Every structure is written in structure tokens, then in C-alpha cells.
Amino acid sequence: MAIDFNISVENTGTVTQTGMQVLDDLQAFASPMRVVSVTRPKITGFDWSGGVAAGFDGLRITSTLSGDVHLAAGQTGTKSFTVLIDPAAGYPTQDNVALATSNLIVDGVSGAVDIPPLPPADVRVVKLANTETALLGGTVGYPLTFANMNQSIETGLNFVESLQEGLSFAPGSARYDGVDTLQPTIRYRLLEWQNVTLGPQQKVTITFDARVTGGDGNLTNTAYVLDPAQNIISNRAEATVTRRPEAVFDCGDVIGKVYDDRNMNGYQDGPTS
């Protein structure tokens, strides 16, 4: 999950503050989550002979400024950066607290930034079939795309494909982002790719083949995503293939002779004089 922070420091006094520093302990607010990465802060409004602190990550290095930084009376300095966090262990309940210090304000002044609520999981599913019609015994290929629409990391997901009666999964045909090592778990007519993790706005493509084993008319499959509590958190994506009648198995020929059974005895009698 990516969170954008904009932290402002305003000098409301009448003298220039020198030796300015803004400290931000990101792990203190992120707990129990894990901080994955932090972008380089963008600093505006300050006067300095230094710049942005090298290596700021909010963990080992919490100082965002370096060198002799000044903030004139009545001026506002701002720093902005983005934090990528992994909410798999839970979501924080505390604010992000930054501490501003200077040569004159040794103990510092703190300010808190509210953390936005975790957005509900949102995964978009797109499903297609590689043909519109199929014959009995034929094979249909299905490409599926699962896209995380949020900036958060989604864990413990189940990708589900529901096959209609008349279609059977071709064993070993599944490809997960082009790799065949993650085959689905099969439960009756359900194919499940279990315990999947999707990064922020990550997209995964799955392909598989199904054989036409029966059924009549339209054969429709449905794909969707379940969260760890088995709630559906995606749209239901469908793909329909029409099964065409097959000349040998579906269309039989009647071979014989038509005659007029006048005496209703069930036989074709010879000519009568």
C-alpha cells in the first residue's frame, strides 16, 4: 500500500530559525506493518546550504534534512514523500508524527498526520475464450487477467475459475504469468489458485485449456476472486463458447426402407394378385 505524506513546518515567530531538522520515524506509525520503501523527499520553502538527507528511509535514518537549513519568519517549509507499506500483518491505528527542531527549539515541535483508512480490496477480472464455437472433443483456451486496482498489497487471495458442465480442465495446461509451476487446485468444477499475493496495481495473467466433453448450446465459465474470509472482492467475469452439433456423435443417419403396411402386420409383404 502506498501512502503520500505532505508535512509542513511554519515559522510563526519573528526570527529566522537556523539549523532546522525534520525527523520522521516511519516504523513507529507503520507498526505492525512493514515499511517496504520510501521515495526521496521533495523539500520546498526552506533556505539551506545543504539539502535532502541522503539515505532517508524512516527506519535507520529518520532525518529528512542535511546541512545548515534555515526557515525565515513567516515562511512555511514543506516536505513530501511516498511510503510503500505491507499491511499483511495488520493496519496501523496511530498517526505519523513528525518532529521539527532547530538551534533555538532544541526539544522540537511535533505534528501528526492522519493515516487514511485502508481501502476495501478491489480486484478486476477479465476473461476471454480463444474461440466462439467448439465441437465435442475439442479444446478451448481461456486467458484470464487479475488486476489489483488499489495501491495496497492484497494477500491470501484465491483466484477461482468455475467450469460449466460440459467442459473439463486439461491437466497441466495452466500457465501463471507464463510459468507452469503453479497449477490450480481442482475441486469438482472449480479451479483455484490459492494464497495469491498481489502488489499495488499488479496484474497477473493465467491461461488454461478445457476440453468439450458434453453439454448443449452455450457453455459459460465464470472467474472471480475470494479474500481470506472467502468473500468475493471482484467482478464475475464470464466467457461463453457455443457447442456446435457434431456430425458423427450428434447427427445420426436413419437407414432403411419406407413401405405402405396396408394389412398392418409389421412386415413388407410381397405383391398380391
From the number of C-beta atoms within 10 Å of its C-beta (0-12, 13-18, 19+), residue 15 rates as exposed
Mean pLDDT of 246-260: 62
Residues 60-114: tens digit of each pLDDT: 889 998 888 999 999 999 989 988 877 666 677 788 899 999 999 988 898 887 7
- Residue 140 has a pLDDT of 94
- Residue 191 has a pLDDT of 94
d(CA 108, CA 111): 10
φ/ψ of residue 87, rounded to 5: -90, 20
Whether residue 167 has pLDDT greater than 70: yes
pLDDT band at 252 (very low <50, low <70, confident <90, very high): low
Domain boundaries, the chain: 2-113, 123-243
CATH topology of domain 123-243: Immunoglobulin-like (2.60.40)
pLDDT band at 158 (very low <50, low <70, confident <90, very high): very high
What lies within 8 Å, CB to CB, of 204 at 6+ separation is 145, 146, 147, 159, 176, 177, 196, 198
What lies within 8 Å, CB to CB, of 117 at 6+ separation is none
User: Which CATH number is 2-113's, of 2.60.40, 3.40.50, 1.10.1790, 3.10.450?
Assistant: 2.60.40
Looking at per-residue pLDDT, the higher value among 117 and 217 belongs to: 217
From the number of C-beta atoms within 10 Å of its C-beta (0-12, 13-18, 19+), residue 45 rates as middle
Instruction: Give CA 2 to chain center in angstroms.
Output: 14
- CA distances 171 to 33, 102, 239, Å, are 39, 67, 20
The answer to whether 91 and 47 have CB atoms below 8 angstroms apart is no
Report the SS3 class of residue 92. Answer: coil
Place of cell 409389421: 266
Whether residue 155 has pLDDT greater than 60: yes
Q: Do domains 2-113 and 123-243 have the same CATH topology?
A: yes
Whether residue 247 has pLDDT greater than 60: no
Residues 13-66: tens digit of each pLDDT: 899 999 999 999 988 888 877 788 888 888 888 887 767 888 888 888 899 988
Residues 190-228: tens digit of each pLDDT: 999 999 999 888 999 999 999 998 877 889 999 999 998
